[in-house]
Structure 1
Amino acid sequence: MEYTEVARSAADKLLSYSKDESGWKLCKKSGEIAVHWRPSCEFSGNLYKGEAIINANSEHVWKCLKPEPHGLRVKWDSNVEDFQIIEAITDDISVCRTITPSAAMGIIAPRDFVDVVLIKRYEDGTIASNATNVEHTGCPPQRNFVRGFNHPCGCLCVPVPGEPEKTQLLSFFQTDLSGYLPKSVVESFFPYSMTHFYNNLIKAVKNLKV
């Protein structure tokens, strides 16, 4: 029951982030992709928001984003080395482990994250993946990885009214990478990483539609 409550709380926070326009500052813009930030209320770092319009319907976009073992996302998302389900709690809630490769020319070592993930569909057609860090006896910290911590984060595939083949993708990240990383490295990594995420997703969606 605890995992369920934590997951639902993360989903509520993600929805509130998507509706709250206050305090955001633009930190990177690349074409139609924009990344904003503001101080996180969850930890000492920042909350980042990415947004872009994807030229595909929300179901197509969701196929590429869906967090699942051996799914499409592991193939196109260069920030995801592996994705594992540790325990299925309900049909739409699971405890998962995500492994990320080294980054920033090796300054950021490989990491793993253990999160409870809730997949939620809203009445307006929005499909959301919501996650936040949890502990699980089936996945203690491992020697070869730095254990990072995701605070409420995820993606929302929002249908564009009157444009059935367009989706507004909102993504939110507030991640404690842990370890001894300079603040400047962390703050430059996330905007770059999120822009790269969107560009790779756009390519993956095009390939799926072909």
Structure 2
Amino acid sequence: MDYQEASDRAAEQARSYRKDPSGWRSCKRTNEISISWRPSTEFHGNLYKAEGIMPAKPADVFKCIKPETGGLREKWDQNVKEVVVVEAINENVCITRTTTRSALMKVISPREFIDVVLVKQDEDGTFVSLATNVEHPLCPPQPDHVRGRNYPCGCFCIPAPGEPCKTQLLSFFQTDLSGNLPQTVVESFLPSSIAAFYSSLSKAVVKFTA
């Protein structure tokens, strides 16, 4: 499989979501975050967009979400059990295996996601981590995890205009949890999970980058 090509396609798709304002419907709003959704064109579920301000500069926010083996993500994200970089394709592209804990009082069992991820800094100072699902020979399905799939998704850590110590975090989530979950359970869980991601990250950037 050409992982570079898959990464390029995913990044192009994620960037297109950022440019396209049409069709979004609000589904959750807090003091920290605004979440909206529209039907995915990639699978039978939804594409979610989340926007919020983080109290740290983009490089520091990126440190907390950058995919790394044993990195900061495992320390603050309550949904994530482990992140492992399976293979580095080049300095900007890698294959990751992310495992999650059970959720909703074990209604949702542990998941695993195998992704190709692009990590880089754009010319305008924005840090990006953009991903999509792939298969990898070192990652056969595990019997104790359900194999979920992320479709083109990721985070944009955008410098906040006039506020060098703040970051506009724009994220797209497009996750097929797989298994036999009712769609109503998925549509209830994902927005709440995204809101928890932003809330925990906001605390983490202060704790780990101060």
The 5-angstrom pairing of residues 65-144 of structure 1 reads 65-144=65-144
Q: Percent identity?
A: 57
Q: Aligned partners of 1:65, 1:146: CA distance in 2, in Å? A: 23
1:7 corresponding residue in structure 2: 7
Using the TM superposition, give the Cα deviation of residue 165 of structure 1 relative to its aligned residue in structure 2, in angstroms.
Answer: 1.2
TM-score by length of 1: 0.97
Aligned match of 1:197: 197
Which residue of structure 2 aligns with residue 163 of structure 1?
Answer: 163
RMSD between aligned residues: 1.0
Correspondence 1:23-38 to 2 at 5 A? 23-38=23-38
The answer to whether the Cα contact below 8 Å between 2:32 and 2:199 also exists between their aligned partners in 1 is no
Q: In the alignment, which residue of structure 2 is the partner of 1:55?
A: 55
**C-alpha displacement of 1:209:** 4.0
Give runs of ≥4 in structure 1 deviating > 6 Å. Answer: none
CA distance in 2 between partners of 1:85 and 1:63 (Å): 15
Distance in 2 between the 1:95 and 1:114 partners?
7
Q: Which residue pairs with 2:44 in the alignment? A: 44
**Aligned partners of 2:74, 2:92: CA distance in 1, in Å?**
19
Take 2:111 and 2:61, find their aligned partners in 1: how far apart are those partners?
A: 26
Task: Return the offset for 1:194.
Answer: 0.3
- The CA distance in 1 between the partners of 2:30 and 2:101, in whole Å, is 24
Asked if the contact 2:32/2:198 (under 8 Å) is kept, the reply is no
- Any conservation in 1 of the 2:67–2:85 contact (CA below 8 Å)? no
Q: Distance in 2 between matches of 1:164 and 1:20?
A: 26
Give the 3 Å change call, closer, same or farther, for CA 209–117 of structure 1 in structure 2: closer
Q: For structure 1, which runs of at least 5 residues remain unmatched after alignment?
A: none
Structure 1 residue matching 2:193: 3-state secondary structure: helix
Structure 2 residue ranges without an equivalent (≥5): none
Letter in 2 for 1:92: N
Which residue identity does 1:173 align to in structure 2? F
Q: Give the counterpart letter for 1:34 in structure 2.
A: S
SS in 2 for 1:81: strand
> What is the number of equivalent residue pairs in this alignment?
210
